Amino acid sequence: MLGSNWKSKYLAKSCNNPNLTLIPLQNGGHCQPIFFEYPHDSSIGHFELANWNSLANEIETSNIDCEWVAQPGVRGVYSETKFQQAKENIAIVQKTTPELGKLMRFVTDKRELASYHHPKALGAVVTDIAARVWPYKLVAHLLESLLMSSSEGKLQGTFNLQTLTPAESLSATLDGQWQISTPRGTITARKTALATNAYTSHLLPDFADLIVPCRGQMSALLPLPSISGPNRLHTSMGFEGDGLDDYLIQRPTEKGGHLMFGGGRTFNKSIGVTDDSTFDETTAAYLRRELVEAFELPEQGESSGNEKVEMQAVAQWTGVMGFSRDEVPWVGPVPGKEGIFVAAGYTGHGMPNTWLSGKAVAEMVGESLAGGDLKAVVEAAREATGLPKAYQVSVERIEKAMKSETVEAKDHAELSRNQRILEAGKSLE
């Protein structure tokens, strides 16, 4: 299975074990299913719930030290457009899919919003199905387990990890196999699975307009006294509005209590950007300052002159996500390329999707290697994992997606709407 970020942090793997699953590395640690996003397709909400439960069970069963803590999730809504959309979607889900509807509630009371640290929000969606986690520790534990099993146990000789090894090209051989060229040599395989996310089109050019890179920015902030120790956050948080999609968790108090805050995409070009070796200072400044104002922390009054109070960043970095043209992941065999499977395009919402998406692909690869009919294999994997039909790669889906608005156009419209709202607000001051 070929892993994420071919440019600088790419993991290329040669593996005879068809059950290997790769989780793309994610640094946000914000695992919160969103049950109201697709009110007319309940399979997506059920799949995100199944991912959360499966991931929680694996971490508990395997005793993985990755700072996983189940806690409520609160998604604040900050624009009238998103407010009405969330309100309508939740009403639909609660009516048509009550088992998902009962897992969330829509809060509009100002005192309750303030108690959830969203005093300026129009409303908030609250759910008990959320968690915070350190994803890198989770992935490192899983890789360590596979490497130990390969050297000592039942996987002996079947798992090979090659870090910092870019997959430079993917080509078909005359005998129906696939060759993956790397600086360290060429891998030949009957079946190849790509977990390449933002960089999928580097190996599959036909995906250039289906999965588009988007650079996001993260920060680890030292909390101010008013949000430290006993005053720390007890929820994971999202901030949604026109052009706004920030997210936040807080690490354990005994491990620093850092506020892991990401977002701020309105301040710099992000769509189509693949360089994660630098970060944007304007965005970084926003991330250091925004929570002080958004939470209306008492430390606001400590500013001098026009200087805004900000939190100290112990780390600031960027990472590249893969945004899907139709906004849901692409999972399964690639049409016209027999033996190639993909699990990519999570649009910044991978935590409640990657675990079982990877399992579904592993099931497909394993059964097809055993000689199973591909159509039956895909259906069996969907049944086993609950993979939504909307996630499956197909000619029909590709054609439909290509007729829809591009990722760039959608993002531009969203950011433009946000800019108009900001300018209108300034003109009223």
**pLDDT tens profile 255-279:** 999 999 999 998 999 999 999 998 8
Share of the chain above pLDDT 90, in %: 79
In a domain, 342, yes or no: yes
Residue 426 pLDDT > 70:
no
**pLDDT tens profile 269-319:** 999 999 999 889 999 999 999 999 999 999 987 766 678 899 999 999 999
Residue 118 confidence (pLDDT): 97
Question: Residue range 67-77: average pLDDT?
Answer: 97
Tally of CA atoms within 13 A in the half-sphere of 75 that contains its CB: 27
Q: Using 50, 70 and 90 to split pLDDT, how confident is the model at 23?
A: very low
**Which residue carries 């059964």 as its tokens?**
367
Give CA–CA dist 294/292, Å, rounded.
6
Dihedral sign, Cα of residue 341, residue 191, residue 57, residue 42: positive
Question: Where does a domain end: 86, 107, 133?
Answer: 133
One domain, residues 46 and 171: no
Mean pLDDT of the chain: 89
Q: Which of 80-89, 151-160, 164-173, 185-194 has the lowest mean pLDDT?
A: 151-160
One domain, residues 21 and 85: no
One domain, residues 79 and 129: yes
In a domain, 121, yes or no: yes
Residue 171 pLDDT > 50:
yes
The more confident residue out of 10 and 60 is 60
Q: Using 50, 70 and 90 to split pLDDT, how confident is the model at 155?
A: confident
One domain, residues 154 and 80: no
One domain, residues 144 and 206: yes
In a domain, 288, yes or no: no
Q: Using 50, 70 and 90 to split pLDDT, how confident is the model at 420?
A: low
Q: Using 50, 70 and 90 to split pLDDT, how confident is the model at 419?
A: low
Residue 17 pLDDT > 80:
no
One domain, residues 150 and 203: yes
Q: Using 50, 70 and 90 to split pLDDT, how confident is the model at 42?
A: very high
Residue 19 pLDDT > 50:
no
Residue 308 confidence (pLDDT): 86
Residue 18 confidence (pLDDT): 34
| 170 burial via Cβ count (<10 Å: 0-12, 13-18, 19+) | buried
DSSP lists the bridge partners of residue 343 as 331
One domain, residues 22 and 39: no
Q: Using 50, 70 and 90 to split pLDDT, how confident is the model at 120?
A: very high
Q: Using 50, 70 and 90 to split pLDDT, how confident is the model at 149?
A: confident
Expressed as residue numbers, the domain containing 176 is 11-26+136-210+326-393
Question: Residue range 71-96: average pLDDT?
Answer: 97
One domain, residues 151 and 127: no
In a domain, 110, yes or no: yes
Residue 424 pLDDT > 90:
no
Residue 304 confidence (pLDDT): 67
In a domain, 374, yes or no: yes
One domain, residues 157 and 100: no
DSSP string, 327-373: SS-EEEEPTTSTTEEEEE--TT--TTTHHHHHHHHHHHHHHHHTT--
One domain, residues 16 and 44: no
Three-state SS at 216: strand
Residue 296 confidence (pLDDT): 95
One domain, residues 46 and 180: no
Pairing of the two strands 178-182 and 236-241: unpaired
DSSP string, 241-265: ETTEEEEEEE--GGGT--EEEE--G
Q: Using 50, 70 and 90 to split pLDDT, how confident is the model at 135?
A: very high
In a domain, 52, yes or no: yes
First to last CA, the chain: 55
**pLDDT tens profile 197-236:** 999 999 999 999 999 999 999 999 999 999 999 999 999 9
Residue 21 pLDDT > 50:
no
Task: Give me 408's structure tokens.
Answer: 């760039």
Tally of domains in the chain? 2
Q: Which of 12-21, 125-134, 311-320, 408-417 has the lowest mean pLDDT?
A: 12-21
CATH of the domain at 353: 3.50.50
In a domain, 277, yes or no: no
Residue 27 confidence (pLDDT): 63
Question: Where does a domain end: 105, 133, 161?
Answer: 133
Give CA–CA dist 146/161, Å, rounded.
9
Residue 422 confidence (pLDDT): 55
**pLDDT tens profile 335-355:** 999 999 999 999 999 999 999
One domain, residues 157 and 103: no
Residue 418 confidence (pLDDT): 66
In a domain, 341, yes or no: yes
